[in-house]
Amino acid sequence: MIWIDTIIQGILLGGLYALFAAGLSLVFGIMRLVNLAHGDLIILGAYIILISVTVLGLNPFFAILIAAPLMFALGWALQKLVLNRTLGEDILPPLLVTFGLSVVIQNGLLEGFSADSQRISAGALETASISVGPISMGVLPLLTFGSAILVIVVLNHIFYRTAIGRAFRATSDDAVTASLMGIKPERVFATATGLAMVVAAIAALYLGVRANFDPSIGPARLIYAFEAVIIGGLGSLWGTLLGGVIIGVAQTVGAAINPEWQILAGHVAFLVVLLIRPRGLFPRGN
Amino acid sequence: MALLETKGLTAHYGDFQALFGVDIHLEQGETVAIIGANGAGKTTLMRSITGVLRNAPEQILHNETPIGHLPADTIMKRGIAMVPEGRKLFPSLSVEENLIIGGQHKGGRDLGDRIDSFLSRFTGAPDPMELAAGHDGAGYWTLETIYELFPILRERRHNPGTALSGGQQQMVAIGRALMSNPYVLLCDEISLGLAPVVIKDIYAALPKIKESGASVIVVEQDIGQALAVADRVYCMMEGRVTLEGRPSEISRDDIHAAYFGAVA
Ligand SMILES: Nc1ncnc2c1ncn2[C@@H]1O[C@H](COP(=O)(O)OP(=O)(O)OP(=O)(O)O)[C@@H](O)[C@H]1O
Ligand SMILES: [Mg+2]
C-alpha cells in the first residue's frame, strides 16, 4: 500500500515538473531556443505572486491573474528586444545570453528579496487531502497535476487549432516563407515566449505554494524541466508530461528507499531512458 | 502608371553583386514573363520585390509608392503575393492549413498590426495599416474557389502539404498565394521539375487567376511556355535585363543572344 501511495505522489509531482517544462518545450519547439533562464523566470514569477499575496492580500489563485499578464509582457519584451537578436544559424549566442540573464535575475532577486527562503501561503488548501479508498491524496498536488493537463490541452489547442498556432508552426518550419505570408517572425516568437511565461507563472504558483523557494533555486528546477522535455521527446507536450511523471516517480520511489536518493534517482531514471531511447519517448519527426 | 516597377534595382549577397540596375515594369492586367539561364538573377529579382532582400526605397515602386525598403510581410499585405521557387510548403501544416495561412494575415488587419498601428500615432513609427495601402484581401479567392480551381486539393486537404506529388504541391503553393487576393502574383519557376501534362494543368489556371483581377509575373526557364502565356517578356543574363519585348515581336535569335550572350 505504501508503494502505491509513493507512486501516486510521484505521478502528481510529475505534473509540477511538466509545468516547469512546458514553456521550455514550447519555446524550443518554435524557435530552437534553449532558454537557460527559464527556471529563474519561474522563480521571478513566484516572487511576483508572493508580492501580490502579501502586499495586496490576494488569494494566490487570484494573484495569478496579475502575475500571468505581467509575465506575458515580460516574455514578449524579452524576446522582442533581446532574444530575437540572438537567433540565427549559431546556437551559442542564445545560450550565452540566457545564461547571463539567469545570473542577472538571480542577483536582482537577491538584491530585492534577500536570500531568505519564502513561501506562498494558500491557507487550508496546503494541507487538505481527499481519500479514495485507502489512498489519501493532497488536494494541492492534485490541482497541480490537473493544471498541468489543462495547460497541455490548451497549449496543444493553440498550437494545432488556432491561427496563431498555425503561424507558430509555419514560422518554425521556415521563417522566410512565413514572412511571405504576411507573418512577422519576430512578433510570432515574442508571442510564443510570452505564452511560455504565462505557463511559467502557473508553474510558479504551484512551486511557491508547495515548498520554500529562494532566488538561487531556479537552475535546479531548470534541470528537472530539461530532463522532462528530453525524456518526452523534443516537441511533444504529452511526452513532456510523461517525462515529468517518470522523474517524479523515480524521485519519490528513490526517497522512499533512502531519503538521500531522491534527487539521484530522478537523474538516474533520466539517464536510463536516454540509454534506451536516445531521442526520447515521443520524438517528433524532423 | 505602372502597377509595379523596378528602377535601377541592385542586389547583393555579401560582396557578390547579383543584380546590376534592373528596370522592369508590370501594368495592370498584364502577364509578364521573365526568362534567363540558371544564375541570371531571376529569383533574386523576386526576392527583392517581395522584400526578402531589402533595397533602397525608390528602387521598387508599387502604384508609384516607393516600397524597396519594406519588409516581406508588409509587401504581402499591400497585395503582392509570391509563389516561391521550390514551392516552400510548410511541412508541419496540412494542405488546407497551408492555404489558410496564405490569407490569414492579408491586408494588415491582424491584431499585431492593429496594435502597432495604434502605437504608431505616438511613436512616429510607420503605420502598418497605412503601409498596407488599403489592400483588404477581400476578393474572389477563398478556400472554396481554390478547391474549384484545383479540385484534387480538396481530396487531399487533410494530408501534410509535403505528402503530395510535385504538381499538387505546386497547386498548393499557388493557392496559398492566391488566398490573400493579391493585385500582383509573382510565380518563380512553377513548372520546374514537372511533367509536361502537369505543367499544362497548372498553366490552365492562369486565365482564371487573371480574371480574378491579379496581374502576374512568371519566372520561367521554359521559353516556349513563357512566350505562350506572356503579354511581354524580359530576358535576364548575369544580373541584367538583356531583352524586352512582346512575344510576337522578338525572334529566336534575339532570345538566343539575350539568353546566352552574344555569340563570340
Ligand atoms: N543566398 C545566396 N548567397 C550568395 N549568392 C547567391 C545566393 N542566392 C543566389 N546567389 C547568386 O546570385 C546569382 C543569381 O541567382 P538567382 O537565384 O537569382 O538566379 P536565378 O536566375 O533564379 O537562377 P535559377 O534559374 O537557377 O533559379 C547567382 O550567381 C547565384 O549564385
Ligand atoms: Mg531561380
Instruction: Convert the pLDDT of each residue in A8-40 to its tens digit.
Output: 999 999 999 999 999 999 999 899 899 999 999
Neighbours of A153 (CB within 10 A): 12
Shortest CA gap A161–chain B (Å): 10
pLDDT tens, position by position, B12-45: 999 999 999 999 999 999 999 999 999 999 999 9
The C-alpha atoms of residue A207 and residue A46 are separated, in whole angstroms, by 7
Ligand 1 pocket, B51 CB below 6 A? no
The nearest alpha carbon in chain B to A160 belongs to: B93
Contact A174 B90 (CB under 8 A): yes
User: What does the pLDDT average to over B154-179?
Assistant: 94
What pLDDT was estimated at residue B262? 64
3-class SS string, A57-101? CCCHHHHHHHHHHHHHHHHHHHHHHCHHHHCCCCCHHHHHHHHHH
User: What does the pLDDT average to over B213-219?
Assistant: 96
What pLDDT was estimated at residue B119? 83
Contact B104 A172 (CB under 8 A): no
Type of residue numbered A118: Q
Ligand 1 pocket, B43 CB below 6 A? yes
Contact B91 A173 (CB under 8 A): yes
What pLDDT was estimated at residue A45? 97
Radius of gyration of chain A from Cα atoms? 19
Place of cell 512565413: A178
- Pick from A163, A172, A179: CB nearest B92: A172
Exposed e or buried b per residue across B6-17, where buried means at least 16 C-beta atoms within 10 angstroms of its C-beta: bbebbbeeeeee
Shortest CA gap A184–chain B (Å): 6
Neighbours of A129 (CB within 10 A): 12
What pLDDT was estimated at residue A285? 53
Distant-in-sequence, close-in-space partners of A105: CB < 8 Å, separation ≥ 6: A37, A40, A41, A43, A44, A215, A218
- The whole domain housing B152 covers 4-260
What pLDDT was estimated at residue B264? 43
CATH of the domain at B165: 3.40.50.300
User: What does the pLDDT average to over B173-191?
Assistant: 96
The nearest alpha carbon in chain A to B178 belongs to: A181
Place of cell 494575415: B105
Contact A169 B106 (CB under 8 A): no
Contact B81 A176 (CB under 8 A): no
Q: What letter does residue B94 receive in the DSSP assignment?
A: B
What pLDDT was estimated at residue B126? 77
- Pick from B52, B91, B104: CB nearest A166: B104
pLDDT by residue, tens only, chain A of 286 residues: 678 889 999 999 999 999 999 999 999 989 989 999 999 999 999 999 999 999 999 999 999 999 999 999 999 999 999 999 999 888 899 999 999 999 999 999 999 999 999 999 888 888 888 888 888 889 999 999 999 999 999 999 999 999 999 999 999 999 999 999 999 999 999 999 999 999 999 999 999 999 999 999 999 989 999 999 999 888 789 999 999 999 999 999 999 999 999 999 999 999 999 999 988 888 775 4
Which ligand approaches the C-alpha of residue B34 most closely?
1
- What's the gap in Å between A93 CA and the centre of ligand 1? 29
* Closest residue by CA, ligand 1 atom 26: B38
* Closest residue by CA, ligand 1 atom 1: B13
- What's the gap in Å between B85 CA and the centre of ligand 2? 6
Shortest CA gap B175–chain A (Å): 12
Which of B42, B187, B218 to mutate for ligand 1's pocket (most ligand atoms within 8 Å of CB)?
Answer: B42
Which ligand approaches the C-alpha of residue B239 most closely?
1
Name the grid cell of A252: 519519490
- What's the gap in Å between B24 CA and the centre of ligand 1? 18
Count the domains in chain B: 1
Q: Is A261 exposed, middle or buried (0-12, 13-18, 19+ CB in 10 A)?
A: middle
DSSP output for chain A: -HHHHHHHHHHHHHHHHHHHHHHHHHHHHHH----TTHHHHHHHHHHHHHHHHHHS---HHHHHHHHHHHHHHHHHHHHHHTGGGG-SS-SHHHHHHHHHHHHHHHHHHHHHH-S--B----GGGGT-EEEETTEEEEHHHHHHHHHHHHHHHHHHHHHHHSHHHHHHHHHHH-HHHHHHTT--HHHHHHHHHHHHHHHHHHHHHHHHHHS-B-TT-HHHHHHHHHHHHHHH-TT-HHHHHHHHHHHHHHHHHHHHH-GGGHHHHHHHHHHHHHHH-TT-SSPPP-
Q: Is A223 exposed, middle or buried (0-12, 13-18, 19+ CB in 10 A)?
A: middle
pLDDT tens, position by position, B114-161: 788 788 888 877 777 777 766 777 889 999 999 999 999 999 999 998
Contact A166 B97 (CB under 8 A): yes
Q: What is the enclosing helix (H) or strand (E) of B255?
A: helix B252-260
Task: With H, G, I as helix, E, B as strand and everything else as coil, classify residue B48.
Answer: helix
The C-alpha atoms of residue A198 and residue A247 are separated, in whole angstroms, by 23
The C-alpha atoms of residue B205 and residue B172 are separated, in whole angstroms, by 12
Ligand 1 pocket, B191 CB below 6 A? no
Contact A182 B176 (CB under 8 A): no
Taken in order A276, A277, A278, A281, the sign of the CA dihedral is negative
Q: Is the pLDDT of residue B235 over 90?
A: yes
The number of CA neighbours under 13 Å toward the Cβ of B181 is 17
Confidence category of residue B107, pLDDT binned at 50, 70, 90: low
Q: Is the pLDDT of residue B263 over 60?
A: no
Residues from B in contact with A at Cβ < 8 Å: 50-52, 71-73, 76-77, 81-82, 84, 88, 90-93, 97, 100-102, 104-106, 108, 110, 112, 176, 180
User: What does the pLDDT average to over B85-89?
Assistant: 95
The nearest alpha carbon in chain A to B109 belongs to: A182
The C-alpha atoms of residue A128 and residue A142 are separated, in whole angstroms, by 11
Q: Provide ipTM, 2 decimals.
A: 0.93
CA distances from A177 to A7, A86, A166, B101, B220 (A): 47, 20, 13, 11, 20
Ligand 1 pocket, B13 CB below 6 A? yes
Contact B104 A184 (CB under 8 A): no
